Amino acid sequence: MTNQKPTSPIKASTQSFIEIEEIKDDVVLMKDFSASTVVEVSAVNFWLLSSEEQTSMIYSYAGLLNSLSFPIQILVVSKRMDVSAYLDYLDDKINKTATDLMKTRLGGYREFIKNIVKKNTVLEKRFFFVVPFSPLELGVSGASPGSLNKEYVISRAKTSLYPKRDNLMRLLSKIGLKGTALYSQELSELFYNLYNPSSTGRRMAPVESYTDVVMTQG
């Protein structure tokens, strides 16, 4: 009788650990049928402002948060900056420049940027407001998400989230911050890069062109 080697149990796929069910109509739908919409906020170099401007912005920002009638989540994403595309841009400028002096200066600037990135950790920071939607907002039916229809939840989530998102962007503009709603393409790229930290900010093809789940090797 031959000894049969024990086989290890089949491990769950990566998809089972990801809580996102679907991204549709600019709404992120989770597996528990909660949902959210995301607004990216432009950064401000706070330390370049005068003390009066800093104080004014702090009070304005506090006033914005206190004026909201719905919950929000604030997300800050820090990631090592990839400057390879910028270095390629400088190379192209150097090759197209006819003046030797300008070539020399651009080449020196390129080396300066390259050395900074080598010696220091240069981080790219992105700021987001996440406006959530709970299935409990659907009433009694929301207490048992398993009985809900996905299309119905997305439809109700859009009705609830879109006005809140637009109101949030208006309030941000009043205090000098630019809010940009993330649509399906930007949301897919954001979560792809969050789940794949080594992707260095990969840009994806139009999401409509994908026919299967986007995965990485290794």
Do 176 and 203 fall into the same domain? yes
Residue type, 138: L
* pLDDT at residue 143, rounded to an integer: 58
* pLDDT at residue 10, rounded to an integer: 46
Q: Which of 90, 121, 152 is the last residue of a domain?
A: 121
* pLDDT at residue 202, rounded to an integer: 62
Beta strands in 7-97, from DSSP E residues, in sequence order: 20-24, 27-30, 35-41, 73-80
* pLDDT at residue 13, rounded to an integer: 55
Q: What is the mean pLDDT of residues 114-136?
A: 85
Do 95 and 138 fall into the same domain? no
User: Where would I find the H helices in 74-183?
Assistant: 84-96, 100-119, 150-174
Do 88 and 174 fall into the same domain? no
Buried b (16+ CB within 10 A) or exposed e, 90-103: beeebeeeeeeeee
Residue 11 has pLDDT above 60, yes or no: no
Cβ neighbour number for residue 64 with a 10 Å cutoff: 15
Residues of the chain with pLDDT > 70: what percent? 80
Do 70 and 91 fall into the same domain? no
Do 190 and 169 fall into the same domain? yes
Q: What angle do CA 142, 168, 45 make, to 5 degrees?
A: 130
Do 130 and 96 fall into the same domain? no
Q: Which of 100, 121, 142 is the last residue of a domain?
A: 121
Residue 8 placed within a domain? no
Q: What is the mean pLDDT of residues 55-67?
A: 93
Do 116 and 130 fall into the same domain? no
d(Cα 53, Cα 51) in Å, to the nearest integer?
Answer: 5
**95-99, long-range: CB < 8 A, 24+ apart:** none
Residue 215 placed within a domain? no
Poorest-confidence range of 92-96, 126-130, 192-196? 192-196
Q: How far, in whole angstroms, is CA 63 from its chain's centroid?
A: 25
Are the C-beta atoms of residues 73 and 65 closer than 8 Å to each other? Answer: no
Residue 10 placed within a domain? no
Do 45 and 101 fall into the same domain? no
Residue 25 φ/ψ, nearest 5 degrees: 55, 40
Cα–Cα distances in angstroms (integers) from residue 111 to residues 13, 119, 207, in the given order: 44, 12, 37
What's the pTM?
0.73
Cα–Cα distances in angstroms (integers) from residue 81 to residues 3, 38, 130, 185, in the given order: 54, 22, 23, 21
Do 162 and 181 fall into the same domain? yes
Residue 218 placed within a domain? no
Confidence bin at 145 (pLDDT 50/70/90): low
Are the C-beta atoms of residues 11 and 100 closer than 8 Å to each other? Answer: no
Do 61 and 136 fall into the same domain? yes
Residue 50 placed within a domain? yes
Q: For residue 68, what are the domain limits?
A: 19-78+126-209
* pLDDT at residue 9, rounded to an integer: 47
Residue 140 has pLDDT above 70, yes or no: no
Poorest-confidence range of 3-7, 54-58, 192-196? 3-7
* pLDDT at residue 15, rounded to an integer: 59
Do 117 and 63 fall into the same domain? no
Residue 217 has pLDDT above 50, yes or no: no
Q: Please give the tally of structural domains in the chain.
A: 2
Are the C-beta atoms of residues 150 and 29 closer than 8 Å to each other? Answer: yes
Tokens of 19: 């809580």
Residue 49 has pLDDT above 70, yes or no: yes
